[in-house]
């Protein structure tokens, strides 16, 4: 009898070792962290757009992530294969979210840039694309360091997803969080990552930093006054990377923190410990 009991315990242990754990919310603008053993592939499918399926990146420890754009809605299917196991299928149904409106008055040149800046803006857009292209196949999950807030004093002035009305004209939704601050306030890396682009005086972004946290997850820190890192540098969570400023398209000193999973816009609140909005 004791021998049978022992064998059952071993079998149960082996079965549970193949389970996949998830953390995060299946909501628009959120990201989900997953981990499992002996994972050979993971695919995320948008049922409404089945041809645009995403083959997820998986590290040697079985970590992978996937996320949903701020405007995502409908049904999504996650398919995960593990060695020696049947394919696991998870379904997520997302409801479209309502967004608030925010009216801002900006210098005319930032709403409708003069033609003389067209070449500068085009070159900066290309530089961003090249930097993000380096992130497409990085399997290392630097984000497993965890996350922390990017500033010491957390005062959010503009939320993710608000519909911007600039000088009376509707524009695209706000794709990050704005933190109030004073010029020179410290800005920290929210997680471990590689500096893919640390640049000065871009037309819209101003002086800014793009960090690669692995598996398509990236954070961007805009409108800085100073940089404390350089391209290609590996930084740690909580490391000083820059200082708050008002460079680029900004009405005053603040930090714009953006978060993306590949081309999906993610609400930074989904990974940060912030007071309720």
Q: Are residues 169 and 254 in the same domain?
A: yes
Rounded CA gap, 270 and 16, in Å? 28
pLDDT category of residue 166 using cuts at 50, 70 and 90: low
249 vs 231, higher pLDDT: 231
Q: Are residues 122 and 231 in the same domain?
A: yes
Q: 146 is written with which tokens?
A: 């965890």
Q: Residue 4 pLDDT > 50, yes or no? A: no
Q: 256 is written with which tokens?
A: 């714009």
pLDDT category of residue 127 using cuts at 50, 70 and 90: very high
Q: Are residues 20 and 152 in the same domain?
A: no
Look at residues 94, 113, 143 and tell me which one is the last residue of a structural domain.
Answer: 94
Q: Are residues 113 and 245 in the same domain?
A: yes
Looking at residue 196, its pLDDT comes to 98
Q: Are residues 124 and 213 in the same domain?
A: yes
146: number of Cβ within 10 Å: 11
Q: First vs last Cα of the chain: how many Å apart?
A: 58
Looking at residue 249, its pLDDT comes to 86
What average pLDDT score do residues 84-98 get? 90
- CA distances from residue 110 to 45, 61, 249, 270 in whole angstroms, order as listed: 37, 45, 6, 29
Tell me, yes or no, whether 66 lies in a domain. Answer: yes
Q: Which helix (H) or strand (E) holds 8?
A: helix 2-16
Q: To which residue do tokens 């002035």 refer?
A: 157
**What is the domain count for the chain?**
2
Q: Which residues contact 103 (CB under 8 A, 6 or more apart)?
A: 165, 168
40 CA to centre of own chain: 24
What average pLDDT score do residues 118-146 get? 97
Q: Are residues 44 and 111 in the same domain?
A: no
Looking at residue 170, its pLDDT comes to 57
Phi, psi of 23 (to 5 degrees): -140, 140
User: Which residue from 261, 262, 257 is spatially nearest to 272, judged by alpha carbons?
Assistant: 257
What is the pTM assigned to this prediction?
0.88
The CATH number of whichever domain residue 87 belongs to comes to 2.60.40
Q: Are residues 188 and 157 in the same domain?
A: yes
Tell me, yes or no, whether 178 lies in a domain. Answer: yes
Q: Are residues 90 and 115 in the same domain?
A: no
Of 63-77, 110-124, 186-200, 204-218, which gets the smallest average pLDDT?
A: 110-124
Tell me what the pLDDT averaged over the chain comes to.
88
Q: Residue 36 pLDDT > 60, yes or no? A: yes
pLDDT category of residue 107 using cuts at 50, 70 and 90: low
Q: Which helix (H) or strand (E) holds 202?
A: strand 193-202
What average pLDDT score do residues 102-120 get? 76
Q: Residue 31 pLDDT > 50, yes or no? A: yes
Q: Which domain holds residue 111?
A: 101-270
Give the pairing of strands 88-94 and 74-82: antiparallel
Q: 199 is written with which tokens?
A: 């640049």
Q: Residue 11 pLDDT > 50, yes or no? A: no
Q: Are residues 47 and 147 in the same domain?
A: no
pLDDT category of residue 274 using cuts at 50, 70 and 90: confident
**Is-contact 222 178, C-beta < 8 A?**
no
Rounded CA gap, 257 and 70, in Å? 15
Q: Residue 51 pLDDT > 90, yes or no? A: no
């Amino acid at each position: 009898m004791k021998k049978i009991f022992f064998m059952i315990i071993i079998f149960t242990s082996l079965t549970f070792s193949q389970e996949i754990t998830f953390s995060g919310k299946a909501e628009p603008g959120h990201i989900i962290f997953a981990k499992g053993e002996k994972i050979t592939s993971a695919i995320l499918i948008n049922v409404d757009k089945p041809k645009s399926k995403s083959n997820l990146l998986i590290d040697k420890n079985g970590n992978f992530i996937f996320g949903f754009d701020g405007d995502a809605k409908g049904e999504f299917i996650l398919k995960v294969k593990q060695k020696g196991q049947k394919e696991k299928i998870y379904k997520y149904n997302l409801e479209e979210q309502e967004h608030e409106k925010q009216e801002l008055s900006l210098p005319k040149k930032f709403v409708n840039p003069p033609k003389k800046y067209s070449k500068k803006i085009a070159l900066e857009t290309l530089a961003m694309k090249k930097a993000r292209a380096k992130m497409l196949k990085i399997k290392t999950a630097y984000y497993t360091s965890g996350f922390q807030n990017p500033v010491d004093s957390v005062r959010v002035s503009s939320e993710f997803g608000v519909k911007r009305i600039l000088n009376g004209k509707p524009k695209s939704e706000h794709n990050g969080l704005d933190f109030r601050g004073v010029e020179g306030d410290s800005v920290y890396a929210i997680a471990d990552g590689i500096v893919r682009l640390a640049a000065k005086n871009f037309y819209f972004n101003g002086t800014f930093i793009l960090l690669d946290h692995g598996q398509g997850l990236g954070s961007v820190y805009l409108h800085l006054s100073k940089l404390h890192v350089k391209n290609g540098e590996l930084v740690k969570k909580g490391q000083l990377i820059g200082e708050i400023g008002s460079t680029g398209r900004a009405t005053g000193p603040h930090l714009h923190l953006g978060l993306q999973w590949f081309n999906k816009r993610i609400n930074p609140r989904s990974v940060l410990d912030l007071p309720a909005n």
